[in-house]
């Protein structure tokens, strides 16, 4: 039977998780080049797979050992609810496509999910050395500094963002992304369209940007981001306005002052 850890116990587990994620980050950083690797679909796939393989073994054993009885969610691109209990949802190379193309927006992430609720997360950016963490009920932090979402109340002044969750999504999803960008360009200030979700969501949690939405249920980036944004004082729902869960078909994380306005723009598209 899975036990529920109090906040103070989760803080100890957070330290163990951060150590594992940072160790994996060193391995991924050592594989990074400032130029693109792979010029064909096969070459790109081989490079991304090699990144995952180089990092996974550095994460799996330490994380499972740190929380006895927890289980491992194998596919970082999977969506939907997990079975009951505690699961590690990990992306060994969040933003893998960026890493392979010599860009800097990538990270290593690990999130402990308890009965489909994220309770602890670590997001490490190896190129900068920055580490974003959150424990349910304990706030969100960048290194040792508390994070707080934006105080904006005017959507017209908002910097927002979106992007696709994974390659090869269906045409309807692509059209919704395009329609939503157009709508938010009309009602907001600037829209960033980029991947991965996590590197946009850490900016929402830190108050640098004001909202992020996605027409997807891919768990790995959204679980970590949802916990960081919530613990930094943000609002996280689906595009119907209901609290976001792993079973939600879409996602919106926003500063409270613009969440309703953003929802009004996006919900007709969803």
Percent of the chain predicted with pLDDT > 90 = 89
What would the mean pLDDT of 127-136 be, rounded to a whole number?
97
Mean pLDDT of 220-233: 96
Strands 251-254 and 211-214: antiparallel
- What pLDDT, on the 0 to 100 scale, is given for residue 48? 96
Number of CB atoms found within 10 A of residue 170's CB = 9
- If you average pLDDT over residues 56-77, what whole number do you get? 93
170 versus 77: which is more confidently predicted? Answer: 170
pLDDT at 2 over 70: no
For the cut 80, the answer to whether the pLDDT of residue 244 exceeds it is: yes
| Per-residue pLDDT at 116 exceeds 60 | yes
Q: What are the pLDDT digits (tens) for 200-226? A: 999 999 999 999 999 998 898 899 999
pLDDT of residue 18: 97
The whole-number average pLDDT for the span 222-246 is 97
**194 pLDDT above the threshold of 60:** yes
Q: What is the 3-state secondary structure (H, E, C) of the chain?
A: CCCCCCHHHHHHHHHHHHHHHHHHHHHHHHHCCCCCCCCCHHHHHHHHHHHHHHHHHHHHHHHHHHCCCCEEECCCCCECCCCCCEEEEEEEEECHHHHHCCCCCCEEEEEEEECCEEEEEEEEECCCCEEEEEECCCEEEECCEECCCCCCCCHHHCEEEECCCCCCCCHHHHHHHHHHHHHHHHHCCEEEECCCHHHHHHHHHCCCCCEEEECCCEHHHHHHHHHHHHHCCCEEECCCCCECCCCCCCEEEECHHHHHHHHHHHCCCC
Asked if pLDDT for residue 1 goes beyond 70, the answer is: no
Percent of all residues in the chain with a pLDDT value above 70, rounded to a whole number = 96
Say what the pLDDT of residue 8 is. 53
Mean pLDDT (whole number) for 225-247: 97
Flag whether pLDDT at 268 surpasses 70.
yes
Average pLDDT of the chain is 94
Q: Would you state the pLDDT for residue 12?
A: 84
pLDDT band at residue 9, thresholds of 50, 70 and 90?
Answer: low
């Amino acid at each position: 039977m899975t036990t529920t850890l109090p906040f103070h116990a989760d803080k100890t587990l957070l330290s163990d998780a951060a150590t594992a994620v940072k160790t994996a980050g060193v391995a991924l950083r050592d594989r990074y080049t400032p130029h693109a690797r792979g010029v064909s679909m096969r070459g790109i796939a081989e490079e991304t797979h090699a990144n995952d393989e180089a990092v996974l073994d550095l994460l799996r054993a330490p994380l499972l050992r740190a929380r006895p009885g927890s289980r491992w969610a194998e596919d970082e691109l999977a969506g939907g609810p997990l079975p009951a209990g505690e699961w590690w949802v990990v992306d060994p190379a969040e933003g893998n496509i960026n890493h392979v193309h010599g860009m800097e927006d990538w990270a290593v992430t690990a999130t402990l999910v308890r009965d489909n609720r994220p309770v602890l997360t670590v997001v490490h950016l190896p190129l900068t050395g920055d580490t974003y963490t959150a424990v349910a009920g304990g706030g969100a932090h960048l290194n040792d500094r508390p994070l707080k979402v934006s105080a904006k109340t005017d959507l017209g002044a908002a910097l927002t963002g979106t992007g696709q969750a994974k390659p090869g999504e269906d045409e309807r999803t692509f059209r919704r992304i395009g329609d939503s960008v157009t709508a938010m360009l009309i009602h907001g200030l600037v829209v960033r369209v980029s991947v991965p979700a996590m590197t946009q969501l850490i900016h929402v949690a830190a108050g640098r940007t004001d909202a992020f939405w996605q027409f997807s249920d891919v768990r790995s980036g959204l679980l970590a981001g949802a916990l960081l944004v919530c613990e930094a004082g943000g609002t996280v729902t689906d595009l119907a306005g209901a609290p976001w869960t792993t079973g939600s078909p879409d996602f919106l994380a926003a500063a409270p002052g613009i969440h309703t306005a953003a929802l009004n723009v996006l919900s007709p598209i969803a």
